[in-house]
Every structure is written in C-alpha cells, then in structure tokens.
A and B are shown apart, each in its own frame.
Chain A
Amino acid sequence: MSVTAVRFVRKDLEEMEWLVRKGYYSNKSDLIKTAVRNLIRETIDRELNRRIPRKEITERGVNELNEEIRSLKRDVLGKNEIHRS
C-alpha cells in the first residue's frame, strides 16, 4: 500500500471514530452496516427510477390506482389460498 493510500485509510478511520464519538452511530459496525445499506438502497432506487418513471398525481390517477390495488389484492388472495372459506 502506498503512503498516500495509507493516509487516506487513516483519515477514513479517524472520521469513523469521530462519527461514533459524536453519537451519530452507536459503534463502527453500525456505521458500516448503515453505509452498506444506503449504498444498496441508492443502487435499487436508481434502477427503479429508470424502470418505473413517476407521473404527476391526479384525483383520477389515485382512484384508478386504488381500484387496481383492490382488484390485485383479490387476485393475490385467490392465488395463495390464505382465506379458509
């Protein structure tokens, strides 16, 4: 590892310790888990934003979506035989 790389790693470690000391995270493990989760979330959101473009909200759009969700629920219920009757 080069001297520059060592400097960077040391700086990151110091920053991690500072964040834990300040109470932003309970410990270093918590910090790393949060960082990894955020990274995955950002990747998924980027991909979903590309695949499912968002549209403007309208009364009609909301009503149509709600009806669609209700119908979907009935279909999924039938599929997974959860209801006993």
Chain B
Amino acid sequence: MSWGRMKSTGAKAFLDSGIFITARVFRASNSMICLSAADKQIFIPVVSYKTLGEVVEWTKRHYDKDTSGYMRYRILILPGLEMVPRRRIISLLGRYEPLVTDKADLPHVCAYFASNSDYFVTTNRKLTQMEVREKVNFKSPREFVEDVLGVEGLDTPNGV
C-alpha cells in the first residue's frame, strides 16, 4: 500500500500482540496495513513490555532464537514507538481487574490506560466483549484502518 504524503493523524494506538503475529503469518491482512501506517508515522504506536514478550515467545516456539530477535527489533524500530514499562502497569492492575474476565488480557488493558492511548487495536474479539469495553476504545484492525486511518480495509475474517 502506498501512503503517499499522508499526514500523521496524531492518534495514539495501543497495538496488541496479535497484530504483529497476524501481520507476519498472513499474506494480506489489515494488521499489515496498520503496521505499514505505523512505519510511515501516520499514528503513534504503543506497546507494552508484555506485548514484546509475547511476540518474542511466539516466534521462539515456532522458529528460533535468531528469528525472535529479528521480530523484537522489527517492533522496536517502529518510529515514535511508546513502550509501557512494567511499573506503570502494576500500579493499575487492581483498578481494572474486576472488568477483565481473562486475566491474561489485564496487563494490556492497563498498558492502554497507562499510556493514555486513543485506541486499542486487537484481533482478540473475546476481549472486546468483556465489561471493560465501555471504558476502552477497542478497534479491530479493519475498523482502525477504515475509521481512523481513513483508507479502505481488506475483507478478512474478523477484520484481522
């Protein structure tokens, strides 16, 4: 996709680990478009140390240590990337715990609040149906591409 001289939207978007994995596994996905827009500085990408850990772990399980190193740097090289550290997440765990059914998602939700992100982009539909949805601006990759970036998304299962 060519972005031409598209200006930054100034939006801050928290990217879930599924975005990075989906973009790498499938040939054409909205997750890929999201990352391409982040490369072009059209929005400010936000990830937590937990996201990084999950992506690295996934790559290690399926490939090898070197490949997981490349995946790590691929995330870290995103221009203007904001990384939410552990200490900022820990302090919010108690506040949002009752609203998140699956505790594995809790650190990500806390990272979204800690970073004051405008959007939470995720491929995880179950997360978007939890009680916390009223406080979090969840977007599927397709919704993010169309509603925020203003470009036509791809017709993919669950908008990934």
Contacts and interface: CB of A to CB of B under 8 A. Distances in A.
Q: What is the predominant secondary structure among interface residues of chain A facing chain B?
A: helix
B63 A52 contact: yes
Contacts, number: 115
**A44, A54, A73, A83 — which one has the most chain B CB atoms within 10 A of its CB?**
A73
Contacts of A76: 50, 53-54, 57, 104
Interface of A: 34, 37, 40-41, 44-45, 47-48, 51-52, 54-59, 61-63, 65-66, 68-70, 72-77, 79-80, 82-85
25 contacts: A45-B74, A47-B70, A48-B24, A48-B70, A51-B66, A52-B25, A52-B63, A54-B26, A55-B26, A56-B27, A59-B157, A62-B22, A62-B123, A62-B158, A65-B25, A70-B104, A72-B17, A72-B58, A73-B17, A74-B102, A74-B104, A77-B104, A80-B50, A83-B107, A84-B94
